[in-house]
Amino acid sequence: MRIEVGDTAFAEQADRYPGFAGYQRKTRRVIPVVALTPTDEGSAPADRTERTAS
């Protein structure tokens, strides 16, 4: 996520949950923001294989 988008997303989250903004004020580090995107239901990640009992 680009910095500008992350800043906007963080601000929106801080409006919903004021504790986010409060924690940011108490720390010098930048709190990372990530966007999660759902996958198609029933599909497994490409790097995950099914395992069977032997």
Helix (H) or strand (E) holding 16: helix 3-16
pLDDT at 10: 86
pLDDT digits (tens, 9 = 90+) for 12-25: 988 998 888 898 89
Give the global pTM.
0.52
pLDDT digits (tens, 9 = 90+) for 25-52: 999 988 888 888 888 776 666 655 555 5
Sign of CA dihedral 23, 25, 28, 30: positive
Residue 21's CB is within 10 A of a number of other CB atoms, namely 15
pLDDT at 15: 92
Residue with the larger pLDDT of the pair 27 and 4:
27
